[in-house]
Amino acid sequence: MDNCQLPKGYKNTEVGVIPEDWEVKSISEIVDVDTDNLTTSTNPDYVFKYISLEDVDFGILRNYSEQIFKFAPSRARRKVKKGDILISTVRPNLKSHLLITEEVQDWICSTGFSVLRSKNQTDNVFLFNHFFASIINRQIENLITGSNYPAINSKEVKSLQIPLPPTKAEQTAIATALSDADALINSLSTLIAKKRNIKQGAMQKLLKPKEGWEVKKLGDFLDYEQPTEYLVTDTEYNDNNQIPVLTAGKTFILGYTNEEHGIFKNLPVIIFDDFTTAIKYVDFPFKAKSSAMKMLLPKNEKVNLRFIFEIMLQIKYQVADHKRHWIGEYSKIEIKVLSTPEEQNEIATILSDMDAEIQALETKLEKYRKIKLGMMQNLLTGKIRLV
**Mean of the pLDDT values across residues 333-357?**
86
**Are β-strands 23-26 and 16-19 bridged in parallel, bridged antiparallel, or unpaired?**
unpaired
**Are 25 and 145 in the same domain?**
yes
Predicted confidence (pLDDT) per residue in 29-43, tens digit = 999 999 999 999 999
Q: How many domains does the chain have?
A: 3
Q: What is the CATH number of the domain that holds 29?
A: 3.90.220.20
Predicted confidence (pLDDT) per residue in 145-190, tens digit = 877 888 999 999 999 999 999 999 999 999 999 999 999 999 999 9
**Are 18 and 132 in the same domain?**
yes
**Are 91 and 201 in the same domain?**
no
**Are 233 and 382 in the same domain?**
no
**Mean of the pLDDT values across residues 52-79?**
95
**Are 300 and 365 in the same domain?**
no
Which range is most confident: 1-5, 128-132, 262-266?
128-132
**Are 304 and 382 in the same domain?**
no
Q: For 49, phi and psi rounded to 5 degrees? A: -95, 135
**Mean of the pLDDT values across residues 350-360?**
92
* Residues 177 and 325 sit within 8 Å (Cβ to Cβ): no
Please measure the distance between the N-terminal and C-terminal CA atoms of the chain and give it in whole angstroms.
25
**Are 152 and 271 in the same domain?**
no
Cβ neighbours of 253 (radius 10 Å) = 12
Residue 310 has pLDDT above 70, yes or no: yes
253, 240, 325: which is closest to 289 by C-alpha? Answer: 253
* β strands within 214-344, DSSP E: 214-217, 222-225, 243-246, 253-257, 269-273, 279-282, 287-288, 293-298, 334-337
Angle between helices 168-206 and 341-379 (to 10 degrees): 170
Q: What is the CATH number of the domain that holds 378?
A: 1.10.287.1120
**Mean of the pLDDT values across residues 237-248?**
75
Q: Is the pTM of this model over 0.75?
A: no
**Are 41 and 137 in the same domain?**
yes
List the domain range (segments joined by +) for residue 196.
Answer: 166-208+341-387
Contacts of 74 (CB under 8 A, 6+ apart): none
**Are 132 and 53 in the same domain?**
yes
The type of residue at 288 is A
**Are 282 and 347 in the same domain?**
no
What is the enclosing helix (H) or strand (E) of 318? Answer: helix 305-318
**Are 131 and 238 in the same domain?**
no
**Are β-strands 161-164 and 279-282 bridged in parallel, bridged antiparallel, or unpaired?**
unpaired
**Are 34 and 154 in the same domain?**
yes
